[in-house]
Amino acid sequence: MTLIKRVGKALAVIVVVLAVGGFTGHQYVNHVEKQRPVVTLAKHPKKVLFFYRDDCPDCQAIFHRIYWHNVISHNIILINMNQPKNRHYIQQYQLTSVPTLIHGKQRYAGTKQSQIKRIVGD
| Nearby residues of 41 by Cβ (< 8 Å), 6 or more positions away | 49, 77, 79, 89
Q: What is the pLDDT of residues 27-81, one digit of tens each?
A: 666 666 666 677 777 766 789 999 999 999 999 999 989 999 999 999 999 999 9
Contact 37, 80 (CB under 8 A): yes
In single-letter form, the type of residue at position 30 comes to N
What percent of the chain is modeled with pLDDT above 90?
Answer: 57
> What confidence score (pLDDT) does residue 31 get?
61
d(CA 116, CA 16): 33
> What confidence score (pLDDT) does residue 5 get?
78
Give this prediction's pTM: 0.73
Domain count, the chain: 1
What CATH number corresponds to the domain at position 91? 3.40.30.10
79 within domain boundaries: yes
Task: Identify the domain containing residue 69 by its residue range.
Answer: 34-121
